[in-house]
Amino acid sequence: MSAIDTAVVEPGADPAPPETEGTVTARWPWAARVGFRFGVVYTVLFCVMIGQVVFALVAALDKWLPDTAPMWPLQQAAPVLEWVGRTVFGVEAVFQQNSGSGDQSAIWVMVFCIAVVAAVVTLIWSVLDRRRPAYPRLAAWFLTGLRLCLAGQMLFYGIAKAIPSQMPPPSLSTLLLPYGQLTPMSVLWLQVGSSPVYEILLGIAELTGGLLLLLPRTATLGAMLSVVSMAQVFVLNMTFDVPVKILSFHLLVFSLVLLAPQARRFADFFLLARRAEPAVQPQLFTTARANRYATWVQAAIGVWLVAGISWVGWDSWQEFGGGAPKPELYGLWEVTEFRIDGEPVPPLLTDEARWQRLVIEVEGAVTVQGMDGRLMGVPAELDPAAHTLTVVTAPGTEEPPVTFSYTRPDPSHLQLEGELDGRPTRIELSAVDPGSFPLNGNGFHWVQDFPNAG
């Protein structure tokens, strides 16, 4: 059995006798002790610096914290990371707070710095504590803390898929893009978002892994499910260039670390055809009563996480997901007539002034498609009371915004009147049914004589 196996007891079984001065602890190999010290220091530093890991545990309280709270450790370390980036790697490792990328050069430098600090601390720890034969009790607390942190991440990402907001269905603007203009990450997001049932099932798998991790008795099964889920996520991030490679890799490693004490049992059962001992989890205390209380505390933490993260997920769905309110003029509008100075403008592909389509799907912006097919997202303000739509037609310039008055003869038609480039302009538009696009409209078929491949 492995070194850590000697320090664990099956939940529900008679606890090990309290440790006394005369108790002999099985000595871990030198490499195991050094690796454990490094792993503890590195993991703690990583979870603190990647604030998302720790802040997932605050669950619903996150709504009352500043949006930048999870980034606070990285913000404080930014000057050091910039210096290390320039001095060691010759790169400008500037932390981009509004990037949304977890694979920034600054974060890669952070991982390097954490590894260096962990190595130095491990060296000092190993010298000062060289006579200690093993760390069974510290290992128990470390694995328990790691298990709860991993559970928080599994629940966090799981609820974002189970209430499908992480990967939404294709937006109206996206439906107008040629496939070749999509990035690999966009293809992945659209592939999952185009099938809400598939996304929900992915979320349920991650949620189940997180829920099982919350209790010691089911933690091994939760870690196994987490390995499968995180392995898939990591491979997708690597192959579709999703900028969450660092975090997903660490979550996969955390899952494997939680399974490490069960390695001999897995080998006996799956490879050697031997009778396997029951899976166990490390005990935090030396008495049955204290461990029972610890289990109740973990269950309470689980209830807190599940309730809070579920509430945050539902709130996110209502705020910016499919449950968010739609603008009054929401829709994909096809230009049927475009008049300047009272004269109709023919739909020529070379015309740079004429619009082809107008997309209105979020507050504060619209997307205009020119005759050449180019999409331009611009700031806009809709005033339903005044029946006006103000559009910034030339962002980044000193050109003033254009204000159109609008009327709707019926729900399927829209008329805009205003001035473009100082010339009276009237635009008539007709609503396009998003379901008319094959990506949205093909649905599911039990019987297909020929594949519906487009």
Report the SS3 class of residue 66: coil
Give mean pLDDT, residues 148-152. Answer: 95
Helix pair angle (72-84, 30-49), 10° resolution: 110
pLDDT, one tens digit per residue, over 352-377 is: 889 999 999 999 999 999 999 999 99
Q: Could you tell me how many residues make up the chain?
A: 454
Q: What is residue 3's predicted lDDT score, i.e. its pLDDT? A: 45
**Cβ-contact 229, 205 below 8 angstroms:** yes
Provide the mean pLDDT of the chain: 89
> Is residue 222 predicted with pLDDT exceeding 90?
yes
Could you please report the per-residue DSSP string of 211-258?
Answer: HHHTSGGGHHHHHHHHHHHHHHHHHHHHHTT-S-HHHHHHHHHHHHHH
pLDDT, one tens digit per residue, over 240-287 is: 999 999 999 999 999 999 999 998 888 988 888 888 888 777 889 989
Query: What's the distance, CA 361 to chain centroid?
Result: 23
CA distance 365 to 68: 24
